[in-house]
Structure 1
Amino acid sequence: MDNIQIRRYRDDDAEAVKEIFTLGMSEHVPSSFTHILKQPLTQMVLMCMFCALMTSSKSFLLPILAVTLVLAGTRQLVVYMFSRYIESCLRKDLGDISETYLKQKDSCFWVAEIDGRMVGSVACLPAETVAGCLELKRMSVRRSHRGLGIAKALCRIVAEFTRDRGYAAVVLYTSVVQTDAQKLYEHMGYQKIREFPAPELIAKIINFTLFEYRLDLQRD
């Protein structure tokens, strides 16, 4: 098994962290597009449009072309939404990781390396909406290095850090399309405690749900 090293973030890690985060988030574009297609509202709109064009044009080609264009536009919308989210994160907390996670109380940022190459990252800081908890953030592992236990090791270091700081639990937020992440967190003992729609209007329309998970920690 490869030798996995987990250490605190250094300023020269910035570009690699941003790359891993960007690639990881971009992976969710196809599953988000599929999620939209599965929604009853989407299927109803496409069917109504197809039938209306079929009836009015007496042509089979026109409605097929129209539906294809709508689907292509919808996928581009998903790409745009993820690109905007990624840019926002890179501009905010990932724009100055040291300031956000290393210089603030009870916050930290770690990276995972194998043979000197950065393959994963994770961070935590005091949760804004849940008192007495730290929030796990920016968990990401390169696709080429998944299945080696890296994500589990990163989860454990956050739990240990949280316990050492005297907090009662770790909380985190993930989305309906991040099914692999949900399985990982549940395997690590996290409990899903809340479901709620993402705040953006388009996300509410397409039923893009966010999940809150919590890991209660035993005190020594």
Structure 2
Amino acid sequence: MASVEVRRYRDEDAEVVKEIFTMGMSEHIPSSFMHFLKQPPTQMVLMCVFCALMTSSKSFLFPILAVTLLLAGARQFVVYIFNKYIDASLKQDLNDISETYMQKKDSCFWVAEVDGRVVGMVACLPNDNAPACLELKRMSVRRSHRGMGVAKALCRTVADFTRDRGYAAVVLHTSVVQTDAQKLYEHMGYEKRREFVLPELAAKITNFTLFEYRLDLQK
């Protein structure tokens, strides 16, 4: 297995970090679309549209085409939501990582290298809602380097950083469609504390649930 080196972020890592984040988030579009299709309201709307058009048009092809167009529109809606989130994240912190993470107290940003190539990233900073905790953020690993211990090394780095600064725990948030991330965090000792849907209309429409995990460091 290749050796994984975790080091602090440098300004020359900016573009590759943005690339890894963008690609990692974009990977969740298909699973998010499937999650949307599995919701009972979505299935009910599609069925009602199909039955109504079938009854009124006396045609089998027209309802199928209409439902197909609805599905295509729904997928584009999911793509739009993810692109909007990616753009907002870049503007909020990833366009100036040094300012957001490297120059503030109890905050940091790391990248993981394999054979000299940056293949993963993670950050942490104080959590506004839990003063005794640091929050793990922006975890992402290139698809080509998953299963090599990169994510585990990044998780351990955040835990060590948090412990060294005297905080009691690490908290993080992940989504219902990020099943691999959930398994990783649970394997690393994180416990799921709560589930919630964001107040944004798009999240409510798609029932896009977030999970809050916590790793207590004083056990």
- Bin the TM-score by the shorter chain: over 0.9
Which structure 2 residues correspond to residues 142-157 of structure 1 after superposition, within 5 A? 142-157=142-157
Residue in structure 1 matched with residue 115 of structure 2 by the alignment: 115
Determine if the alignment matches structure 1 residue 14 to structure 2 residue 17. Answer: no
The runs of 4+ residues in structure 1 deviating greater than 3 Å are: none
Residue in structure 2 matched with residue 90 of structure 1 by the alignment: 90
**Counterpart amino acid of 2:4?**
I
Q: Alpha-carbon deviation of 1:157?
A: 0.5
What TM-score, normalized by structure 1, do the two folds share? Answer: 0.98
- The sequence identity of aligned pairs, in percent, is 77
Partner of 2:105: helix, strand, or coil?
coil
Partner of 1:132: helix, strand, or coil?
strand
Task: Output the CA distance in 1 between the equivalents of 2:199 and 2:165.
Answer: 31
Partner of 1:92: helix, strand, or coil?
helix
Residue in structure 2 matched with residue 194 of structure 1 by the alignment: 194
Task: Output the CA distance in 1 between the equivalents of 2:81 and 2:206.
Answer: 13
How many residue pairs get aligned? The number is: 219
Task: Output the CA distance in 1 between the equivalents of 2:134 and 2:7.
Answer: 19
Partner of 1:125: helix, strand, or coil?
strand
Once the two structures are superposed, residues 118-175 of structure 1 have per-residue CA deviations (whole angstroms, 9 ceiling, x without a partner) of: 0000000001111210000000000000000000010000000000000000000010
Once the two structures are superposed, residues 22-71 of structure 1 have per-residue CA deviations (whole angstroms, 9 ceiling, x without a partner) of: 00000000000000010000000000000000000000011000000000
Task: Output the CA distance in 2 between the equivalents of 1:200 and 1:156.
Answer: 33
Q: Structure 1, unaligned stretches of length 5 or more? A: none
Residue in structure 1 matched with residue 23 of structure 2 by the alignment: 23
Task: Output the CA distance in 2 between the equivalents of 1:161 and 1:53.
Answer: 59
Residue in structure 2 matched with residue 40 of structure 1 by the alignment: 40
Residue in structure 1 matched with residue 138 of structure 2 by the alignment: 138
Task: Output the CA distance in 1 between the equivalents of 2:162 and 2:4.
Answer: 21
Task: Output the CA distance in 2 between the equivalents of 1:132 and 1:177.
Answer: 28
Residue in structure 1 matched with residue 57 of structure 2 by the alignment: 57
Partner of 1:122: helix, strand, or coil?
strand
Q: Alpha-carbon deviation of 1:92?
A: 1.2
**Counterpart amino acid of 1:176?**
V
**Counterpart amino acid of 1:42?**
T
Partner of 1:123: helix, strand, or coil?
strand
Residue in structure 2 matched with residue 167 of structure 1 by the alignment: 167
Q: Alpha-carbon deviation of 1:199?
A: 2.3
- Once structures 1 and 2 are overlaid, which stretch shifts more, 196-205 or 65-74? 196-205
Q: Alpha-carbon deviation of 1:4?
A: 1.1
Task: Output the CA distance in 1 between the equivalents of 2:82 and 2:206.
Answer: 15
Q: Alpha-carbon deviation of 1:12?
A: 0.3
Once the two structures are superposed, residues 62-95 of structure 1 have per-residue CA deviations (whole angstroms, 9 ceiling, x without a partner) of: 1000000000000000000000000001111101
Partner of 1:131: helix, strand, or coil?
strand
Task: Output the CA distance in 1 between the equivalents of 2:199 and 2:125.
Answer: 22
